[in-house]
Structure 1
Amino acid sequence: MEIIEPISRKLIHLAKIYLNVLSGRLAHLGINRYYYVMSLIHAENGKLTQKALGEKLGMDKSAIVGIIDYLTDKGYVYREVNPADRRQHLLRTTPKAVKAVPDIMAKFNEMNDTVATDISPKEMEIFYKVLHQMEENLKPYATKEMDLDLNFNK
């Protein structure tokens, strides 16, 4: 019998290596995950609710609460009651995060350049298109409760 390696194994392995190297390059920030989430909160500073963040990331409410709690405990994010709807919490970044986000963005660029070494821009364009198509192909089979938490460095 031939053993077939799932595509997901390669993607997960690549993600783990990528996030491990990224965490090493950003170790001075005192966090080892959720860099992308923090950059999203920063970009939408004060306009993004916990629910909207969860929808944007394809993650459930409890996962988002845990992420926000982690970033809050580390001094990067805080919640603010939405004056228009007191049931909602708007997410804001602290001055510490404002200072860190440009470094995070620079490291994302460095990592993306590193991972794409010896790969042409056209090949990267095809790679992203293929990933997108694979995602679209699987969406009809995904359960409603599926959590697309891609933060492998937990």
Structure 2
Amino acid sequence: MKNTQLISENLRLINYLYNKNLAKELSSIKVNHHFEVLLILAQQKGPITQNKLAELLHVDKSRVVSIVFSLEQRKMLTVKTNPADRRQHYISLSPHALLSIPYIEKKVKEVNELANTGISEEKLDTFFEVAEAIMQNLTKNKH
């Protein structure tokens, strides 16, 4: 790789192609590409705050507000205001979304298998190790 080539170019293309395939596979579920939000919420032990969701998604809170509003309009999320602090909202999956999770997980597995086709387990492990190392390098405080 040339030193001047942005790593993000390849990562952005992989992200685009991966999400395009996933959106195609999950086109019957109308959630505007927000499958990751549903999967993250399905992994939680109970409702979480919008701030916690923003942290888990690595996006700012204003973006989460927009996503939550969109998914709530589609009856995929329930949002409840904390009576002790009306500024705080708890988010959880709706019963309808809970029924969709196994299907979403199945389609994610299928797209992952497609993405991994022809790549050895060893190379995949190396890819994830390198990706983790890059993330660690970029998040270190360097003075």
1:6-47 alpha-carbon deviations (Å, 9 max, x no partner): 111011011101101110100001123110111111222633
Deviation at 1:81, TM superposition (A): 2.2
Work out whether 1:52 is the aligned partner of 2:52: yes
Count of residue correspondences: 141
Deviation at 1:111, TM superposition (A): 1.0
Deviation at 1:82, TM superposition (A): 3.1
> In the alignment, is the contact (CA less than 8 A) between 1:76 and 1:94 conserved in 2?
yes
Work out whether 1:72 is the aligned partner of 2:72: yes
Secondary structure at the counterpart of residue 89 of structure 1:
strand
The match for 1:97 is 97
Structure 2 unaligned runs (5+)?
A: none
TM-score, with length taken from structure 1: 0.82
TM-score, with length taken from structure 2: 0.88
Structure 1 unaligned runs (5+)?
A: 142-154
Percent sequence identity over matched residues? 30
Secondary structure at the counterpart of residue 90 of structure 1:
strand
Structure ranking higher on relative contact order (CA contacts 8 Å, 6+ apart): 1
The match for 1:115 is 115
Tell me whether 82-91 or 126-135 shows the greater mean CA deviation. 82-91
Secondary structure at the counterpart of residue 119 of structure 1:
coil
> In the alignment, is the contact (CA less than 8 A) between 1:53 and 1:64 conserved in 2?
yes
The match for 1:138 is 138
Structure-2 change in CA distance of 1:3 and 1:75 (3 Å): same
Distance 2:75 2:66 in 1: 14
AA matched with 1:94: S
1:21-60 equivalences under 5 Å are 21-44=21-44, 46-60=46-60
Work out whether 1:127 is the aligned partner of 2:132: no
Runs of 4+ in 1 over 4 A off after TM superposition: 83-86
Deviation at 1:99, TM superposition (A): 1.2
> In the alignment, is the contact (CA less than 8 A) between 1:45 and 1:93 conserved in 2?
no
